[in-house]
Amino acid sequence: MDYLQGLNPEQRGAVVQLKGPVMIIAGAGSGKTRVITYRVAHLINSGVDAFNILVLTFTNKAAKEMRERITHVVGPEAKNIWMGTFHSVFAKILRVEAEKLGYPNNFTIYDTDDSKSVLRAILKEMNLDDKLYSANFVYNRISAAKNNLISWMEYAKNEQIQADDHSSGRPFLAKIYETYAQRCYKAGAMDFDDLLFKTNELLKSYPDVLNKYQHKFRYIMVDEYQDTNFSQYLIVKKLAAVTENICVVGDDAQSIYAFRGANIQNILNFEKDYPDVKVFKLEQNYRSTQNIVNIANSIIANNKEQLKKNVFSENEVGDRIKVMRAFSDNEEGKIVAEAIMQDRSTKGLKWGDFAILYRTNAQSRAMEEALRKMGTPYKIYGGLSFYQRKEIKDLIAYFRLTFNPNDEVAMKRVINYPKRGIGDTSVDRIIIAADQHQVTQWDVITNAQLYMDGRSAGAVATFGTLIQSFQVIGKNMSAYDAALHIAQHSGLLKDLYEDKSVEGLNRYENIQELLNGIKEFSEREDIEEKGLDVFMQDIALLTNDDNDKNPDADTVSLMTIHSSKGLEFPQVYVVGLEENLFPSQMSLNSRSDLEEERRLFYVAVTRAKTKLTISYATSRFKFGTLINCEPSRFLDEIDAKYIELDFTAKPAASSFFENERTAWSRKPDTFSKPKAPATSPSAPPKTTSILAKAHVPTPGFAPSDTSKLQTGMEVEHERFGFGKVLQLEGNKPDIKATIFFKEIGQKQLLLKFAKLRIVN
C-alpha cells in the first residue's frame, strides 16, 4: 500500500472508494493518470479479479501508459485487465459475439479511406453529382447518424431528417446510407462507427449477452468522460446497470470535442444518473505556476454550464502572463520566433521546451516561415507541415507546371484533379507515347490528337490548353493575381469550396491562407522581383523539411489546441486571439458553442508549466484583402493583475512607429485596479479588462473640417482615440485616411464619415 502514501487527501479518497458510482472531477495538471492507475491497482490489491475490471480510454497511448504503471504496482496481473479504447475493447467483444448479428468473427474493419472508397463507388453507380454528394460529406453524415444510434432504416423513416435532406438538395442520402450499410454487411465488414453502433445493437437485442458482460465487468472506469458521445454513454450505462460500480474521470472544463459528437451533458448529468454518487474533486494543479492557474480560473469562470471547483496551485507564483500585440500575422510569427530564440539562449532551455498553439491549422504558415528564417527547428504535431498538406501540394503543382511544363510529378498529380475525364489509362498512354516517340510528356499533351485517339485525346488537349493559358498569366500578372487565377480556373478552389465537411472547410481555409501568403509577398517592399515564379523558388526551399528525418530531434512543437490536449510544455505561446478566429466565427451563434470555445482557450492556457504568452494581430489577410482584426473577447475576461503587456512590436514598413513606440506603448500600470468579485455566487468573478479601456473623448469634442487634413497630423476619433495620419489616398469626396491609433493600431477610414478632430 506504499502507493497511497504519496497522494493528497482528495486523491486518496478517490483511490480507496471502490464500491458504487464515483465521479472524479480532475482539474488540469491534478494527477489524474496517477489516480486512475492507483485506483485500478487498489482494486486488484483488494481482491478484485483483474478479469472483472474494464478501463476505457480515448487513446491507445493513455491505455498503454496506465497499464505500464499498474504493472509496476501489481505485477503481471495487470495484463488481465480489460483496458483500451472504446473501439478496441468493443471490437474484441464483437469478435466473440459477431455471429449473433450475422457477421463472421473475422469481420473486416474499414478505416476512413476504405469507407470513402465504398461510398465513391456507390455514388458513381447512382450517377449522383460528386460535388453535391461528396464522399466526405456523405461519410460524415452517416457517421453522425450512427453515433446517435440511427440505423439506415430509422434514417429513412425519420420525417425531420428527410425534410432536412430534401431542403439541402440531397434527397438520396437515405438510399446511399442503406446501400452502404448493405454493402458493408455483404462484405463482412464494419466501419469504425459500427464498432460502437453494433455493440449497442448487440446489448439491446440480446439480453443474455448484456447479462454476461454486466457480470463480467463488475468494476468499470472511464477516462475523459466529458468526451463521450451518446453511443458510448449508453454502452457504459447498460454495462454498469447491475453493480453500479462505475467510476468516471474527467473535467467538464476540458470538453472540446462537440464537433466529434462529444456531449458535455454526460458528465454534467452524471449525478442525476447516479444519485448515490461519491464526488471527488482533484483541485490542486501540480503542473503550472500560480499565475497560470489563476488566469485559467478567471477564464473558465465565465461559463455558465460547469461543475464548480476551485483549482489552485502551490507551485511558485511565476511570471505574469505576457500579452503581445502584432500588426499582422506575419509579424506575429516574427515576434513569437524572436521571443523563443531569446528565452532559449538566456534561460538555457531546449527547443522542445516550447510549444506554439493555434486555433486553426492554417495559422501554422506564418509561424513556420518565421521559425525557418530564424533557423529554429520545429515540428508540426498531429498534422502535416503547411506546405506538405495535400491541397497545398495540389495548388503548388499547378504553379510548378505553369513555369515548368516538363515537371512530370506535378503533371501526374493534377492532370485529373479536379476530375476532367483523364483516368489512369490515359496517363499511361501519355507516358508510353512519350517513350515511343522520344518526346516529352508535355509534347504529347499539347499535341494529343497526334499521339492519342478517342475522347481521352480531347480531354488531354484541353488540359494542355489550360496550362498554356496559365503560362501567359504567370508572365503578365502579379504573383497574387496569377495564383488566384490559377486556383479559380483550375477548378481546385471550387472543388474545395463545395465540400462542406469539417475537413473540406479546413482544406479550403488552408488554400486561402496560401493565397494570403502570396498576397503579402506581392506587397513586400524589400524585394524587386515579385512574380509567382520567384515566390515558387522560395517555396521550393521552404518545403525541404529536414525535421521529419529525425522524429526525436529537439524541436519547437506547433499544433492546434485540440491536438495539445493531454500534453504539457514549460513555455507555451497561444497565438491568434482575435474575434472570429478565436472564438471562431462559427461559434458565435449559440451560448453552448461559445462556451466550448472558452473551454478550448482554458485547455490552451493550462498546457503551460512555467511561462505563458498570448498574442494577437491587428490585421490579417483574408481572401487576398487586408482586414482589421479586433482582439478576442476572451482577453477581456482575464484579470489584469496577472498580465504583462508587450505592445512594443513595430510594423515592418512604418518608421513612424519606431520613432513613437515609447509614447505609444501601453504599460500594465496604466490599467485600473481589478474590481471586487461579484457578490452573486452564480455570477463569474468580475475582472478588469486588459483591452476594454474605452476612449473618453476630449470635453467639447467636435469633428473638424478635414478638407485640409495632411499626412503627419494628429487627430482624435470618438471611439478609437488619438492617432497620427500615415497616408491619404483617393479623390474628393471619397478620400481615405490611413491612421495609426495609439490604442488599437492601424485603421483605414473614409474621411466623409470619420468625424475626426484635428489636434495639430
Binding site for ATP: what residues are annotated? Answer: 26-33
Of 724, 756, 369, residue with least CA distance to 535: 369
Query: 261: which DSSP letter?
Result: T
Cα(316)–Cα(319) distance, rounded to whole angstroms?
9
C-beta pairs of 142-146 under 8 Å, 24+ apart in sequence? 142/176, 142/177, 142/180, 142/193, 143/193, 144/261, 145/177, 146/193, 146/194, 146/196, 146/197, 146/231
* Burial of 700 from C-beta contacts in 10 A (0-12 / 13-18 / 19+): exposed
Residue 616 bridge partners (DSSP): 325
The residue whose grid cell reads 465537411 is 501
What 3-state class would DSSP assign to 489?
Answer: helix
With b for 16 or more beta-carbon neighbours within 10 A and e for fewer, the 617-627 pattern comes to bbbbbbebebe
What 3-state class would DSSP assign to 247?
Answer: strand
What 3-state class would DSSP assign to 597?
Answer: helix
Distance of CA 32 to the CA centre of its chain: 24
User: Taking the CA of residue 115 as centre, how many other CA atoms within 13 Å lie in the half-sphere pointing to its CB?
Assistant: 22
Of 388, 418, 398, residue with least CA distance to 134: 418
Cα(418)–Cα(407) distance, rounded to whole angstroms?
18
Which residues are annotated binding-site positions? Answer: 26-33
Cα(227)–Cα(223) distance, rounded to whole angstroms?
9
Cα(722)–Cα(737) distance, rounded to whole angstroms?
14
**Peptide bond just before 583 cis, omega within 30 deg:** yes
The residue whose grid cell reads 500575422 is 329
Residue 573 bridge partners (DSSP): 356, 613
What 3-state class would DSSP assign to 740?
Answer: strand
For the annotated catalytic residues, the residue numbers are 32-33, 223-224, 254, 607
Cα(476)–Cα(474) distance, rounded to whole angstroms?
6
Cα(138)–Cα(395) distance, rounded to whole angstroms?
25
On whether the CB atoms of residues 484 and 515 are closer than 8 A, the answer is yes
**Peptide bond just before 418 cis, omega within 30 deg:** yes
Beta strand pairing call for 736-741 and 721-729: antiparallel
* Burial of 22 from C-beta contacts in 10 A (0-12 / 13-18 / 19+): buried
Distance of CA 114 to the CA centre of its chain: 24
Cα(311)–Cα(704) distance, rounded to whole angstroms?
53
Of 454, 466, 480, residue with least CA distance to 414: 466
DSSP conformation letters of 537-569: HHHHHHT---GGG-TTS--EEEEEHHHHTT--E
Show the cell assigned to 417: 484533379
On whether the CB atoms of residues 487 and 623 are closer than 8 A, the answer is no
The residue whose grid cell reads 486518496 is 12
Cα dihedral 224/230/236/237 (nearest 10) = 120
* Burial of 243 from C-beta contacts in 10 A (0-12 / 13-18 / 19+): middle
DSSP conformation letters of 29-92: TS-HHHHHHHHHHHHHHTT--GGGEEEEES-HHHHHHHHHHHHHHHGGGGGGSEEEEHHHHHHH
Residues 6+ apart with CB under 8 A from 101: 94, 198, 201, 202
- Taking only Cα atoms into account, the Rg of the chain, rounded to an integer number of angstroms, comes to 30
Cα(678)–Cα(211) distance, rounded to whole angstroms?
51
Give the N- to C-terminal CA distance of the chain in Å, as an integer.
78
